A and B are shown apart, each in its own frame.
Chain A
Amino acid sequence: MDDEKKVNTTEVNAEEKVQAENTQQKPEQAPRNPADIELTPEEIKKNLKKRLVSSSILILLLILVSSFFYVHGDTMYFEDTRFLMNTAYTIKTYGIKGFLGMQAAFKKIHQVENLTSFYQQGSGLSSLNKTGSYVYDFNNKQKRDLLREIAMGAKFMYENTDGYFDPSFAALHEIYGFHTPDKIGRLPDDTELANTMLKCGYNHVLHIEGDKLTLNSGSMIDFGGIVGGYSIMCARAILQASGCKAFLIDDAGDIWFEGEKPDKSPWKIAVKDPRGGSSLAMIVSKTPLAISTSGSYERYVTVNGKKYGHIMDPKTGKPADYYDSVTVVSLDPIQSDVLSTALFAMPPEKAYKYAEDKNVAALFLDTKGEITVSTKGKLYFSDIKVK
């Protein structure tokens, strides 16, 4: 019995000894605080050497990056295209500031699209067309009622062009089949056309009272002929504010450019020849300009093999077919956008007179292939392709 106790006591002592040893060893095995580490002189030397090498590489990299930006910071070319405003929107710019401005400009264009898109469900314009009224919610993030601004601008241009620019032609587009998903065209009879014409006339169907827009029943508004120019104005303001030195904005052919390119060459814009081949004319300039073209060769419906363009003659209610394309150069993107559409809708004699009277720089390509350039247009258009 005593022996058993002795054995047990020995085992217990042995266990206590192991535990004590473990307890003593633990502090050594625990992760050490780097601050508490006492390094040998060799370790310190090695450590310093490594840090010196990595710091030198980093400094070299920073010098390389800084030098790159110093040399190329304002000359780096950036270009991006986004699906906006129911088409592809391109901005070309130079420098880091231009790159940042470009991102902000695209955001702004997206905001404009959300308010003014004819096709986008839930846009401010869709709401106006659907319900017949629109009141801007100033509790929204934006401080400006962009839709109202565009409506006011369209009113001014409607009056200024004797009604040849008319956003209420959306009702006519409807009966010709432009709004059908498959774009299958149809020709309305005289009665249907006359009834639809009663729903047109911008000043008669859209009423702007304070912050409220009201639309007559059955009428429709499509700001497609002005909103391109308006969105360019918005993007331009942002790019200018960003400190960007040279940029070009291209809303599917509605163009604005300004600033001096790094290679100091002028901006060169080609006017597309709808008949194919090389460009119809060139616009070469070092000073800022807005350029827009209206044509019927891309957006049309086909009925019995004949093409009908989307720009309407307000006097007949039928698609205007006097020209293949009309190009306008201006100092104002809204003006060039609207006037190219309005001149396309006008009969030639009226259009040429309008261009001369209002000092509009315009180039007309009629359906017979004849090219007419207004007096002011001769200052801007060069390399005109003769028949």
Chain B
Amino acid sequence: MNNQKQWWGKGDSLLILGLAFMGMIAWLVSRFGFVGADAFLIKSNNNGIETIQTVTLDSDKTITVKGQIGEMQLEFKPDKGARVASSTCPCQVCVNSGWSRTEALICVPNGIIIQPKLNNQKPDTADAVTR
């Protein structure tokens, strides 16, 4: 028992801290940095903004997400990007935004952001869209 205790020195603590630091960097990169393929991050504002789902643009997909005031139907196509097909929000700004590949789609009443993550950026891909 005593012998085991003496093996735990400052160096071991530093090693653990170092590993934790590396883990934090890895998390930061995955949280804010790079995603493997073109994808959309679906973020919710229910309990602070957090990513609730990642949808890769590898095939046609339709998913339903639950927002603050109701459900939203989201549609994804590899050639077009994403769009809000339907939403329970009164203003319908998100639905009226249409298809998007480079800009975030936002539904303020539902607290939902559909944010693009385009890693394989084509030369003609814009950094942002003014609208």
Residues of A with Cβ closer than 8 Å to B? 31-32, 34, 37, 43, 47, 50-51, 54-55, 57-58, 61-62, 65, 68, 76-83, 86-88, 90, 92, 99, 181-183, 248, 250, 252-255, 257, 267-272, 274, 276, 279, 282-283, 291-293, 295, 297-299, 325, 327
Contacts and interface: CB of A to CB of B under 8 A. Distances in A.
B104 A299 contact: no
B40 to A, nearest CB: 12
A78 B33 contact: yes
Contacts of A61: 15, 18-19, 22
B79 interface: no
A327 B131 CA distance: 8
Interface in B112-130: 113, 115, 124-130
Nearest to A297: B96
Interface secondary structure of B, over-half rule: mixed
B32 A80 contact: yes
B33 A87 contact: no
A87 B108 contact: yes
A257 B7 CA distance: 54
Contact of A298 (B15, B124, B126, B131): B131
Interface residues of B, number: 46
B90 interface: yes
Interface of B: 2-3, 5-7, 9, 11-12, 14-15, 18-19, 21-22, 25, 28-29, 32-34, 43, 45, 49, 90-91, 93, 96-99, 102-104, 106, 108, 111, 113, 115, 124-131
Contact of B33 (A50, A51, A77, A253): A77
Contacts of A254: 130
B113 A88 contact: yes
B130 A271 contact: yes
Contacts of A77: 32-34
A234 B43 CA distance: 25
5 contacts: A37-B6, A87-B106, A90-B115, A181-B90, A272-B103
A282 B98 contact: no
A272 B127 contact: no
Interface centre among A58, A65, A257, A267, by most B CB within 10 Å?
Answer: A58
Given A77-B33, A181-B90, A257 B127 contact: yes
B106 A327 contact: no
Given A81-B113, A83-B113, A99-B32, A88 B129 contact: no
B18 A58 contact: yes
Contacts of A50: 7
B122 to A, nearest CB: 11
Given A90-B115, A255-B128, A272-B129, 6 more contacts: A54-B12, A81-B43, A254-B130, A270-B130, A276-B98, A293-B131
A184 to B, nearest CB: 8
A270 B129 contact: yes
Contact of A267 (B93, B103, B108, B127): B127
A292 B128 CA distance: 11
Q: Considering the complex of A and B, which 4 residue pairs feature the smallest CB-CB distances, nearest first?
A: A270-B126, A272-B131, A88-B106, A253-B131
B90 A182 contact: yes
Contacts of A252: 106, 131
Given A54-B12, A298-B93, A81 B128 contact: no
A210 B51 CA distance: 46
Contacts of A43: 3
Contacts of B18: 58, 61-62, 65
Contact of A299 (B3, B5, B91, B98): B91
B113 A248 contact: no
B2 A31 contact: yes
B86 to A, nearest CB: 16
B108 A83 contact: yes
B108 A58 contact: no
Contact of A279 (B49, B90, B113, B126): B126
A77 B34 CA distance: 8
Contact of A270 (B3, B102, B104, B106): B102
Contacts of A32: 2
